[in-house]
Amino acid sequence: MGRVSGRSCIVTGAAQGIGRAIGEALLNEGAEVCFADINGAKVAEVAEANKRRLGDSATRVTHAQVDVTQRDSVQEMIAHTVETFGKIDVKFNNAGVNKPMNFLDVTEDNWNFIMGVNGLGCMIGMQEAARQMIAQGTGGKIINTASVASRQGFDNVAPYCASKWAVVSLTQSGARDLAKHNITVTGFAPGVVATEMWEQVDQDLMKIGAAERPGQAMEEFSSEILRGRVATPGDITGTTTFLASPDSDYMTGQIVMIDGGMTLV
Ligand code: NAD
């Protein structure tokens, strides 16, 4: 019996990085998982790899192509998951983007892109998951991916920080609004996690002149980490599985920092 056995979960942004690791850790503890991502081909490969890995339990895996900024797309992903697993118990709003720009150069397009995926995408994801959980009458858990950038503003990534503060705010508001439906809303805040996102951010920071060599930005961002190293996605999943499990039932409205002690707030 795993920690999340029998729980039907959706994870967005699951074609790679943290989202993929969250989904795979849930599978390891007995859950049914819909891996969802805007990159349909890649998320299908992730699902297939996990089906092969699970063998006889392959029916616990499905996938969906989704754009979290589009309500009809999110509704389709939820309908597909309910059709496959019969219900939804846990929804991870994890898809996220970043595109560094110097503060004075930030454009409306840059703001709207980042706030669209990280802010609006989280809001729509919470709403549509909650509607399904309310219709089921089962309650459920919504878990949002925040960041150290939800606790502190950093240079060259202002819209990203604003969008991740928005995730904290949505977590708190959702917790209050949805408590009467037995739905809890929590979040977790990684620090620096070695994923494709960071590789891209590293390159983008060099392009805008905020770093001179590959790896410099990551080194600078992570120099204050008390645990002495950046995280891997595997460092995050003990907590995410806990948040999806009955062990966290009395928690709501909270963000758990998983940053190795990078920010003490
Ligand atoms: P990643 O770039 O490796 O993966 C993000 C995934 O989201 C990608 O597969 C991408 O295709 C998908 N995605 C992007 N836009 C989407 C959309 N509109 N609809 C659906 N899917 C979409 O990033 P990651 O490092 O795994 O980050 C995952 C989450 O963790 C993000 O919310 C990110 O902001 C957050 N986070 C990451 C770090 C870090 O250091 N990597 C730190 C703190 C928080």
The protein residue with its alpha carbon nearest to ligand 1, atom 32, reads 96
Buried b (16+ CB within 10 A) or exposed e, 129-162: bbebbbeeeeebbbbbbbbbbbbeeeebbbbbbb
Report yes or no: 161 and 154 within 8 Å, Cβ to Cβ: yes
- Count how many residues are written for the chain: 265
**Closest among 252, 148, 237, 228 to 192, alpha carbons compared:** 148
Is the Cβ atom of 147 under 6 angstroms away from ligand 1? yes
Q: Which domains does the chain have, with CATH numbers?
A: 8-192+233-258 (3.40.50.720)
Is the Cβ atom of 14 under 6 angstroms away from ligand 1? no
**Hey, is 131 helix, strand or coil?**
helix
The protein residue with its alpha carbon nearest to ligand 1, atom 23, reads 197
**Hey, is 91 helix, strand or coil?**
strand
Ligand 1 center from residue 56 Cα (angstroms): 30
Is the Cβ atom of 174 under 6 angstroms away from ligand 1? no
**Residue 95 Cα: closest atom of ligand 1:** 7
Q: Ligand 1 pocket: which of 197, 198, 218, 225 to mutate (most atoms <8 Å of CB)? A: 197
Read off the tokens for 87.
Answer: 């219900």
Residue 209: phi and psi, rounded to 5, are 80, 15
SS (H, E, C) 184-237: EEEEEEECCECCHHHHHHHHHHHHCCCCCCCCHHHHHHHCCCCCCCCECHHHCH
Is the Cβ atom of 18 under 6 angstroms away from ligand 1? yes
- Give the model's pLDDT for residue 1: 85
- Give the model's pLDDT for residue 59: 97
**Active centre residues (catalytic):** 160, 164
Strand ranges across the sheet with 32-37: 61-65, 32-37, 8-12, 90-93, 140-145, 183-190, 255-258
**Closest among 158, 169, 182 to 107, alpha carbons compared:** 158
Is the Cβ atom of 263 under 6 angstroms away from ligand 1? no
pTM (whole model) above 0.85: yes
Q: How far apart are CA 206 and CA 82, in angstroms?
A: 44
Measured distance between the N- and C-terminal CA atoms of the chain, rounded to whole angstroms: 36
Ligand 1 center from residue 202 Cα (angstroms): 15
- Give the model's pLDDT for residue 67: 99
- Give the model's pLDDT for residue 74: 99
* Per-residue confidence in pLDDT tens, the chain, 265 aa: 899 999 999 999 999 999 999 999 999 999 999 999 999 999 999 999 999 999 999 999 999 999 999 999 999 999 999 999 999 999 999 999 999 999 999 999 999 999 999 999 999 999 999 999 999 999 999 999 999 999 999 999 999 999 999 999 999 999 999 999 999 999 999 999 999 999 999 999 999 999 999 889 889 888 989 999 999 999 999 999 999 999 999 999 999 999 999 999 8
- Give the model's pLDDT for residue 221: 85
